[in-house]
Amino acid sequence: MRQTLKTLLGGLLLSALPLCAQEPASLDKAFGVASQPAYVKHYEADKTGKVILNPYLQVATKDFPAILDVKMAPYNWVIDAQGRVAITPEAAHPLGRTYEKGFFRPEDQSERKPGTRENFGHVSALGGAPGRISGEILYDKATNAWTVNNKSGRYSKHNSDRTPEQLVNAANLIHQVTDPGKATWGGVFYLLDYAPEKVREELLKSPKLAYDDAKKKSRPHVVVMDAGAPSIKAEKPFEMVAAAPAAETAAAAKPADKPAAPADAPKKTKKPKAANNDDPS
Amino acid sequence: MKKTLIKNGTLALALLLAAAVSLPAAAQTLLPQVSVLKGERNFWSGYDPVNVDGTVNVVIEIAAGTNAKYMVDLKSGMIELEQKNGAPRYVQYLGYPCNYGNIPRSVLLKSRGGDGDAVDALVLGPSVPTGSVVRGRAIGILSLMDTGEKDDKVVVVMENSPFASVRSIEELDRKFPGVTSILQTWFTSYKGRDKDGKLYLASSGFKGRADTIKFIGDAVLDYENSIVTDADRRPLDEKGNPYLYRWPGAKNVGE
């Protein structure tokens, strides 16, 4: 009897295993396999080899959404191994330098422009850990909207499985767990320069293929999602009900966070750029 | 609480007043158990300010419900009982309404209108001992002015505490009625009034999360920028270009 029970329980456990194992597999399908960063730049790790986290890091989940601030743009995003979205703004890295005369970057054999500053990159959102598809969230002032792309030299490029569908999945997740603040959601751009070779070849024949500058054929891309995704709000405005002692001060009755003034209406519509610049970091 | 990161510091100096335990309760509130607490690491520079899951770390200086004004000494990295006019300082008011501490590896530069100290944090959750390092989420800032000087405090909800799921000041006020008022009232009142009868501290209310993220991030970067020298940076080649850096956890494209 005991043996029969053991067998039954064992069978039940075994049958449940594939279900347990489904989660990482479905994340792999939705956002690409979590892979090591293509490289870590010389300034991104300290002397002990620890990759320093970006101190503005937000890890967005439905329970704790991230908040975007136009003053902090542009942002980087990465889907981590657990399927969460790590979001960091570009900021100068304390161990980085500014190269007044430009420099040669060994990771991608590129010449960087004079005045290039070494910023926190995508690896500083995960401390160098493996990540899934990744890119940028850019603020387009003309439309007062955030666009999303797949521009990451660390986690998107150099991977054979980063597809437009994964970018759509990631953008949907970002839209669900990120408060766009005073702006709205713009389009989602799949950049061919960060695509696996096969996908790139196919999309170069696509009627949807577009460029930031058609004459120069710069930044080939395909818009994979149009603007207008619904926005979530991470927090409601809070007005302090003035407590007796605080009321003694002139500013006490006023909330610190004043309701935002409506954003200026765009004067003329200009197509948002697909990428912030051509730095493939 | 099981998962909460709590690292108690070790006591550096002997217990000054071991006999305090035998004193009446009223007397005990006026006497410190220790005047200096040395941690396993430097309390200012020895812990990361932020974690990869987006939480922040806070070094607890003052446990909720207590009055002894402990603070991290930025020179020694130890937690010391503040001395005022040659005597240990105790807040002459109700005990702290929450745990009080600071975010390690952060500084509010005087050149930016700060007080030169680390970012102060009000940690909502069960009382934890001085010297603990706890993880939590920063949800807002209590704006304070202390005799004309900015003295903002970040509000942090401690991991694995009843407050852990709170994600904004508005939600804190809704789910835990009175907490925002208690914090504002306590921190504007505990120093008392000046000769004109006005409170020394004033508050303009709370700021939201976007401001909080920037406040903490700026202070952490200011700290890092203040300690980094050229000797901390990896050298460049003779042409002034960076070398390829080989990191064990990366694919190291470019090699």
**Residues A127-148: tens digit of each pLDDT:** 999 999 999 999 999 999 999 9
Q: Tell me how crowded residue B88 is: count the other CB atoms within 10 A of its CB.
A: 17
Q: Test A128 with B249 for CB contact under 8 angstroms.
A: yes
| Percent of chain B residues past pLDDT 90, beyond the cut | 81
Distance from CA of B207 to the nearest CA of A (A): 5
| Residue written as token pair 């290039």 | A116
Going by C-alpha positions, the residue among A157, A226, A158 that lies closest to residue A187 is: A226
| Residue written as token pair 């007044």 | A100
Chain B 32-91, residues with CB within 8 Å of chain A CB atoms: 48-54
Q: What is the pLDDT of residue A281?
A: 61
Q: Which two tokens stand for residue A278?
A: 């051509």
Pair B168, B209: CB distance under 8 Å: yes
Pair B6, B134: CB distance under 8 Å: yes
Q: Rounded to whole angstroms, how far apart are CA atoms B198 and B100?
A: 25
Distance from CA of B191 to the nearest CA of A (A): 12
The H-or-E segment that residue A116 falls in is strand A116-117
| Interface mutation target, options A44, A61, A64, A233, chain B, most CBs of B under 10 Å | A64
Chain B 193-252, residues with CB within 8 Å of chain A CB atoms: 198-199, 202-211, 213-214, 216-217, 220-221, 224-225, 228, 232-234, 239-245, 247-252
Choosing from B47, B96, B190, B223, the catalytic residue is: B96
| Percent of chain A residues past pLDDT 70, beyond the cut | 80
Q: Is the pLDDT of residue B190 over 90?
A: yes
| Interface mutation target, options B41, B51, B53, chain A, most CBs of A under 10 Å | B53
Q: Rounded to whole angstroms, how far apart are CA atoms A164 and B231?
A: 43
Pair B65, B25: CB distance under 8 Å: no
List Cα–Cα distances, B203 to B113, B169, B180, B189, in angstroms: 16, 15, 12, 10
Q: Test B206 with A256 for CB contact under 8 angstroms.
A: yes
Q: Is the pLDDT of residue B219 over 80?
A: yes
Per-residue burial over B165-177, b if 16 or more Cβ lie within 10 Å, else e, is ebbbbbbbbeeee
B245 flagged as catalytic: no
| Residue written as token pair 């909207």 | A145
**CA angle, corner B37, sides to B35 and B40, nearest 5?**
170
Q: What is the ipTM of this complex?
A: 0.88
Q: Which two tokens stand for residue B44?
A: 């200012």
Q: Is B103 on the interface with A (CB under 8 A)?
A: no
Longest alpha-carbon distance in chain A? 81
Pair B29, B35: CB distance under 8 Å: no
| Contact partners, residue B223, CB within 8 Å, separation at least 6 | B49, B105, B106, B107, B118
Q: Is the pLDDT of residue A267 over 60?
A: no
Q: Is the pLDDT of residue A196 over 80?
A: yes
Q: What number of residues does chain A have?
A: 281
Contacts of B203 in chain A (CB under 8 A): 246, 249, 252
With the CA atoms of B131, B137, B141 and B144 taken in that order, what torsion angle do they form, in degrees rounded to the nearest 10? Answer: -10
| pLDDT single digits (tens) B135-166 | 999 999 999 999 889 999 999 999 999 999 99
